[in-house]
Structure 1
Amino acid sequence: RYSRERKTNYCIAGSCKENNFVAEYKLYKEMAGIDKIMFFPNDDNGLSSYKLIERSQISITNHSTVGFEALSRGKKVLFFNPTDDEYFDVPQRGSHEIWRLAGAGVGYAEFAERLDKISEIDDIVWRELSQEYASYFVTNVSHENPVSIINGMVSKCLVKSTNK
């Protein structure tokens, strides 16, 4: 509906493996209610989801690593969970998270308004707004291996206990 009203194109990046492609395509085609649908099946080797996001103006997903990675690269992403199931939700970190919309009570008008707002934000401003949130999920900072940290703590305790 949003695509028809705004005269924009949309496409769907599939998530199922090859053996479920037909069922997934059929489901999305029925949900979209249109004959023409741009559907890109999951292709791990070709990185189709990543390529599709790079070419998109806005990506809509739920709780997904590809969405977090896209946000960390400065891409416009709307994490949308149209249910009250927290499993599909993205943790809330503040009160002005334009990239997050959740709840079974969210109607089409609110969804469309949010996409419109995201569309209007300049790319540079978007990166600034989403930087902290993006780095919360994806960081390139090197951290010490947790096993090494635990080993160090145990070693210190052992040294203390043998020195008593």
Structure 2
Amino acid sequence: VEQSLETFTSPLFIGATGIVLGILGLILTWLFRGGVLFFIGYLFGTDSRYLQMVTLVLWSWLPFALRDLLNAAYVVVSGEMVVNRGLSFLVASGDQLQDAGNLLYGFLSLVDPFLGWHLVLVAIGLAVVTRATTLKVTIGTIAYWLLTVVVGLAPSLLGMLTSSAF
């Protein structure tokens, strides 16, 4: 039992588990967002395929990959982690536990220039794949963004619900 505990708490195991779960989470995120775009395309009345929408999500994810590379470069150069992502610094209290339960903090942490770039790429991709009108593409992109924001804020919402229940 003690040896198992040592194995499961070793830095190598924790690091490997984090990498594997992070990759799995990213793949599930791409598949979910592809499903959202597929459903939006379906509502447009187009015959787009799910694989097309997942491919659209993968290509439109490039700004987020660049953002993460820039964050990694910042950590290497400064030796400090990025504490407040996006615009969350505008409402940060300095207490990470309090900020984690703050819905506005969670929302603002999702907003940055790379999000705008991502949404522009999503709109262009939706226009190409669905051949829909500009109005439909705009509404579809906003609906995609709103749904992904709600899913992105789910941890904060759950934190608020569980903390108020006790």
> What's the TM-score, normalizing by structure 1?
0.26
TM-score, structure 2 normalization: 0.25
Which structure has the bigger radius of gyration?
A: 1
Higher fraction of helix: 2
